[in-house]
């Protein structure tokens, strides 16, 4: 009775009511089956609810003391009790059959056309295409100022990333899901795909999207402080467009790698290093070590005025930590995530910002040395 | 069903209790210990509730306004732990301490000295847990489930305190459970065979076995966590040959029976209250007992339904889905039996009955969402969203907590000797039942629409739902102050209560005067 009022209140809410109140139908055959299953079970529950609560309310109205001063005497009836064991059992069998077939379809990852490895880490996704030489990181694109209520919130607040995953429509895409650190969960409601990313193990799942479009989801497993800021965005493109996109990006990434090799022999100026370093720091490091380098007491160490970042002797240790991470802590290996130039810049920045005064300049070649040790 | 032949006037002569603080510190009296458990539970209910208010205040609007995400995670984690181990479980243990001996005609619990210990270590456990919030790096922030490796490699140093406090809570629960079992097996009044025991006693009997079976499993899980973090083992670390998903298997092998630990005693309470205010015997007593046992046994076979997305083989998913769905059958039997008890009864609607009726309806709604969650392919969509949060709060708040409130209103006259202010009590009921639905019902929609749980901030499309939810939350929180007021008022005074203040109530506890004398049933009553 009370829930019904709440339900009515909810239904009278403005705009986009449909998507706000129910599971999405999604855009794949599987997600449609899941939706149907959801609605079927929901209706069955409602029907049982109407019967049970109905009887209760009739009883509360008709069998109250003022109406029915003398209670009846029965307190057992084997036939009835057997009936209400058997009938629910049959209803359950009726639910279990479509559930089983749907589940088996969902778990069949064989014969995929495209395979993509999805790696979760605190707090971003890494996508790697197996058929092509393409891989990239995908991070939250919402500005910190929106989160802190300084700017107005964008339309896809918290559900937007810098580099979305792109997949073809009408093709079976297989995802290999794993993690670098803690457990995350890769979830796109429109595909009815949710799979945990477990460190050290690989899970498989798949989808086949019918309609081109942009589909949004989020990490669905508590993975630390920024768990709420780890969206998933997938763009599904027609196969031809997808092919064009993937060859483009492949070429771009190849070019970037070559440029990187050339850079090894080049020296950047302090201004250039500090400029780039600040940008990289704020997008990659500030989430934990904080924009002012102060860290979070007891959780993330400070860089300003303490530790390796101010120790003139510890230059190579500093590089090693940033490149290879510190195992068993939240400090990741950024060697794969950033270019050598970016790494050089951000380490230079850390050694010379917020009053740190080592005066050290780190160049891409220094990073290369550590990486190839 | 039973009659007592106790000479109550005789009791009254030597019903002296020890005085001063020593009475409470060293007491071995089941009634004192019961009261202390209940008081402790109420305190923790408000502590955990205050944390829930912090969570709901932060979620009132999109964006971060009050707390930072790390602190938010500490709040959800400690809220969950405090509510489960501090509010619900001690409340049930308190009720068991008070009522089990009185219902079976025993003078006290079987192991009174241990009873004192099992209570007194609890405040220490919670001082440690709550104290850890003030440590450098903050308290536990990995969710009450403490999944590795977030809780091992990536947690702050308060983890050691978390593990220590969970150990103490576990020891306390096990000691309490042993006491309940021994009391029920050995101290029943002559003539009270098992199939004559009140259902509250039966449900606690079964619950106690669950506790003994699974609390050591939890202790094992958190100990492995501790050695992984501090002593270089790698039970849950893939790099060292371990498996983080194994943590979840171990945890939920404890965790799923645990949720039944938090609901079976409710079934017993409701099975006492509905017949009392229906003036009709409970329908299907024996099928109630069998259903309870069936639920308890099944609860050991379904743990992995919390883990459908972890990547289990499909046949395992099917097995756990079928087993989980099966639990709906005995649970359904219980609900049908309660409805059949009401049918053609002669009902009145005193406060305990109101809470019991709300329990039946709202717990059943929680059961429906539970059934939906059991369906593996759909669970992929629901898992770790607000749909789950809605589900478990329907069973925990409008289930477990409402049944405890029903029990408190039912037995308060027996405990204090006074009738409470029933207008105030009914106000508490109506404000609670309305606000709790405004609080938790919209969460179903937030979850279906895709809002993950355990997030401090959310996409703007969830704003309206969260606002309604938060308003419901504050209203529910405030309503509980009325409860506090009713209880304090009733302890202090009020209309004298008869030995049996409820016309239709049955059971040995109503054969002793109200308030129940300090020592009852020194001569066992006869039961026929
Ligand atoms: C005043 C009433 C309550 C309110 C407003 C409330 C609210 C909440 C909220 C908002 C969450 C966080 C959900 C998430 O982000 O995952 C939560 C989590 C939780 N609550 Fe409550 N709650 C209340 C009472 C209770 C009670 C009485 C219990 C137990 C008997 C309980 C048990 C839990 C548990 C186990 C969690 C999960 C914690 C975790 O994710 O680790 N809550 N609650
Ligand atoms: Cu994550």
Give the ipTM of the model, two decimals please.
Answer: 0.92
Is A236's pLDDT higher than 70?
yes
pLDDT grade for A286, boundaries at 50, 70 and 90: confident
Average pLDDT, integer, range A208-227: 96
Give residue A20's pLDDT band: very low, low, confident or very high (50, 70, 90): low
Residue B454: its chain A contacts at CB < 8 A?
222, 227-228
Show the low-confidence residues of chain B (pLDDT under 50).
1-12
For residue B181, the model assigns a pLDDT of: 98
Residue B445 touches chain A, beta carbons under 8 Å: yes
**pLDDT tens-digit readout, B104-120:** 999 999 999 999 999 99
Q: Tokens for A349?
A: 């920045």
What is the mean predicted confidence (pLDDT) over A193-206?
A: 96
| Contact between A151 and A143 (Cβ < 8 Å) | yes
CA of B396 to the centre of ligand 1 (A): 9
Look at A8-12, A85-89, B214-218, B351-355 and tell me which has the smallest mean pLDDT.
A8-12
Cβ atoms of A124 and A137 closer than 8 Å: yes
Chain A residues lying within 8 Å of B278, measured CB to CB: 63, 71
Cβ distance B284 to A204 less than 8 Å, yes or no, reads no
- In the prediction, which pLDDT does B468 show? 96
Query: Is residue A8 pLDDT above 70, yes or no?
Result: no
Annotated catalytic residue within B204, B260, B338, B458: B260
Backbone angles phi and psi of A124, in degrees to 5: -155, 165
Is A337 strand, coil or helix?
Answer: coil
Give yes or no: B113 in active site: no
- Chain B closest CA to A318's CA: distance in Å? 21
Residue nearest to atom 8 of ligand 1 (CA): B52
**Among A1, A3, A86, which would you mutate to test the B interface (most chain B Cβ atoms within 10 Å of its Cβ)?**
A3
The answer for A 122-151 residues in CB contact with B (under 8 A) is 122, 146-149
Please confirm, yes or no, whether B79 is among the known catalytic residues: yes
Query: Tell me: the pLDDT tens digits for A35-76?
Result: 999 999 999 999 999 999 999 999 999 999 999 999 999 998
Rounded distance from Cα B76 to ligand 1 centre (Å): 7
Q: Supply the DSSP string of B166-208, one letter for each residue.
A: HHHHHHHHHHHHHHHHHHHHH-PPTT--GGGS-HHHHHHHHHH
Q: Which of A24-33, A306-315, B46-55 has the lowest mean pLDDT?
A: A306-315
Q: Residue B19: its pLDDT value, please?
A: 81
What count of other Cβ atoms lies within 10 Å of the Cβ of residue A54?
A: 11
Q: What is the pLDDT of residue B2?
A: 44
* pLDDT tens-place string over residues B7-30: 444 444 556 788 888 888 999 999
List the one residue out of B482, B477, B341 whose CA is nearest residue B422.
B482
The DSSP code sequence of B336-377 is HHHHHHHTT--B---HHHHHHHHHHHHHHHHHHHHHHHHSHH
What is the three-class DSSP state of A231? strand
Q: How confident is the model at residue A328 (pLDDT cuts 50, 70, 90)?
A: low
Alpha helices in A264-332 (DSSP H): 270-280, 286-289, 315-324
Q: If you average pLDDT over every residue of chain A, what do you get?
A: 89
Contacts of B282 in chain A (CB under 8 A): 75
pLDDT above 90 as % of chain A:
63
**Paired residues of A209 in beta bridges:** A28
Report the pLDDT value the prediction gives residue B15, as an integer from 0 to 100: 66
Per the CB < 8 A criterion, the answer to whether B218 and B253 are in contact is: no
- As a whole number of angstroms, the distance between CA B416 and CA B513 comes to 11
DSSP state of A282: I
Instruction: Of A69-73, A143-147, A219-223, give the range with the top mean pLDDT.
Output: A219-223
pLDDT, residue B9, reads 45
The average pLDDT across A108-121 equals 94
**DSSP symbols for B390-414:** HHHHHHIIIIIIHHHHHHHHHHHHH
Largest Cα separation within chain A, whole Å, is 99
Are the beta carbons of A59 and B343 separated by less than 8 Å?
Answer: yes
Round to whole Å and give the CA distance between B455 and B389: 12
Angle between helices B89-104 and B30-58 (to 10 degrees): 150
């Amino acid at each position: 009775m009370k829930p019904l009022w709440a339900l009515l209140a909810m239904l009278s809410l403005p705009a986009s009511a449909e998507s706000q109140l129910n599971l999405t139908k999604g855009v794949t055959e599987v997600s449609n089956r899941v939706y149907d299953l959801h609605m079927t079970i929901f209706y069955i529950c409602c029907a049982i609810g109407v019967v049970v609560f109905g009887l209760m309310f009739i009883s509360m109205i008709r069998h109250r003391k003022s109406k029915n001063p003398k209670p009846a005497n029965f307190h057992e009836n084997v036939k009835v009790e057997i009936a209400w064991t058997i009938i629910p059992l049959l209803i359950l069998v009726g639910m279990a059959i479509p559930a089983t077939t749907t589940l088996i379809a969902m778990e069949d990852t064989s014969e995929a056309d495209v395979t993509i490895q999805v790696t979760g880490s605190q707090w971003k996704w890494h996508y790697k295409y197996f058929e092509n030489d393409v891989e990239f990181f995908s991070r939250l694109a919402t500005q910190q100022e929106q989160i802190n209520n300084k700017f107005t919130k964008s339309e896809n607040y918290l559900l937007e990333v810098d580099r979305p995953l792109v997949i073809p429509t009408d093709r079976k895409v297989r995802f290999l899901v794993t993690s670098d650190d803690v457990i995350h969960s890769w979830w796109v409601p429109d595909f009815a795909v949710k799979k945990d990313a477990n460190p050290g193990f690989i899970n498989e799942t798949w989808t086949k999207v019918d309609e081109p479009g942009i589909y949004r989801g989020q990490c669905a497993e508590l993975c630390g402080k920024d768990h709420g800021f780890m969206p998933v965005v997938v763009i599904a493109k027609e196969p031809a467009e997808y092919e064009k996109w993937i060859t483009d990006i492949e070429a771009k990434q190849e070019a970037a790698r070559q440029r990187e090799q050339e850079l090894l022999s080049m020296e950047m100026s302090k201004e250039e290093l500090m400029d780039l370093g600040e940008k990289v720091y704020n997008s990659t490091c500030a989430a934990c070590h904080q924009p002012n380098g102060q860290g979070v007491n007891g959780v993330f160490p400070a860089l300003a005025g303490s530790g390796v970042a101010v120790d003139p002797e510890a230059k190579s240790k500093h590089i090693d930590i940033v490149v290879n991470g510190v195992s068993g802590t939240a400090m990741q290996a950024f060697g794969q995530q950033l270019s050598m130039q970016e790494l050089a810049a951000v380490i230079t920045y850390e050694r010379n910002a917020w009053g740190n005064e080592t005066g050290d300049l780190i160049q891409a070649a220094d990073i290369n040395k550590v990486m190839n040790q | 069903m039973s009659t007592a032949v106790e000479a109550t006037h005789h009791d009254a002569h030597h019903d002296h209790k020890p005085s001063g603080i020593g009475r409470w510190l060293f007491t071995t009296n089941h009634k004192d210990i019961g009261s202390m458990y209940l008081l402790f539970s109420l305190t923790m209910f408000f502590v955990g509730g205050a944390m829930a208010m912090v969570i709901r205040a932060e979620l009132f609007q999109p964006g971060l306004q009050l707390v930072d995400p790390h602190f938010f995670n500490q709040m959800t984690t400690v809220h969950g732990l405090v509510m489960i181990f501090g509010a619900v479980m001690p409340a049930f243990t308190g009720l068991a301490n008070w009522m089990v001996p009185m219902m079976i005609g025993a003078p006290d619990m079987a192991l009174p000295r241990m009873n004192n210990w099992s209570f007194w270590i609890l405040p220490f456990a919670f001082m440690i847990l709550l104290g850890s919030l003030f440590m450098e790096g903050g308290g536990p922030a990995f969710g009450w489930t403490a999944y590795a490796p977030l809780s091992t490699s990536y947690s702050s140093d308060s983890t050691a305190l978390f593990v220590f406090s969970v150990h103490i809570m576990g020891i306390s629960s096990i000691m309490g459970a042993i006491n309940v079992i021994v009391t029920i097996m050995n101290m029943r009044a002559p003539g009270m065979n098992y199939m004559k025991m009140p259902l509250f006693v039966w449900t606690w009997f079964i619950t106690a076995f669950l506790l003994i079976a699974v609390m050591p499993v939890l202790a094992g899980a958190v100990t492995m966590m501790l050695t992984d973090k501090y002593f270089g083992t790698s039970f849950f670390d893939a790099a060292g040959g371990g498996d983080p998903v194994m943590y979840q298997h171990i945890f939920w092998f404890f965790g799923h029976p645990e949720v039944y630990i938090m609901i079976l005693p409710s079934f017993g309470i409701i099975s006492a209250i509905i017949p009392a205010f229906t003036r009709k015997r409970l329908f299907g007593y024996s099928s109630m007992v069998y259903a309870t046992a069936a639920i308890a046994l099944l609860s050991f076979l379904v743990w992995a339904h919390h883990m459908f997305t972890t990547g289990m083989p499909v046949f395992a998913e099917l097995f756990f889905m079928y087993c989980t769905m099966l639990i709906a059958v005995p649970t359904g039997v219980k609900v049908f039996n309660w409805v059949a008890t009401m049918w053609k009864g002669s009902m009145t609607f005193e406060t305990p009955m109101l809470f019991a009726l709300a329990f039946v309806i709202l717990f059943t709604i929680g059961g429906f969402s539970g059934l939906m969650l059991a369906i593996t392919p759909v669970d992929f969509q629901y898992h770790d969203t607000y749909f789950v949060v809605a589900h478990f709060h329907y069973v925990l708040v409008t289930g477990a907590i409402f049944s405890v409130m029903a029990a408190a209103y039912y037995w308060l006259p027996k405990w204090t000797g006074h009738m409470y202010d029933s207008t105030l009590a009914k106000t508490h009921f109506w404000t609670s039942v309305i606000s709790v639905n405004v609080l938790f019902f919209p969460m179903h929609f937030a979850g279906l629409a895709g809002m993950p749980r355990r997030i401090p901030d959310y996409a703007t499309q969830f704003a309206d739902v969260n606002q309604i939810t938060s308003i419901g939350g504050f209203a529910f929180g405030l309503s509980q102050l009325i409860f506090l007021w009713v209880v304090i008022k009733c302890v202090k005074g009020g209309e004298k209560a008869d030995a049996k203040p409820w016309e239709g109530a049955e059971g040995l506890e109503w054969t002793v005067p109200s308030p129940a004398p300090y020592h009852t049933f020194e001569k066992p009553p006869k039961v026929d």
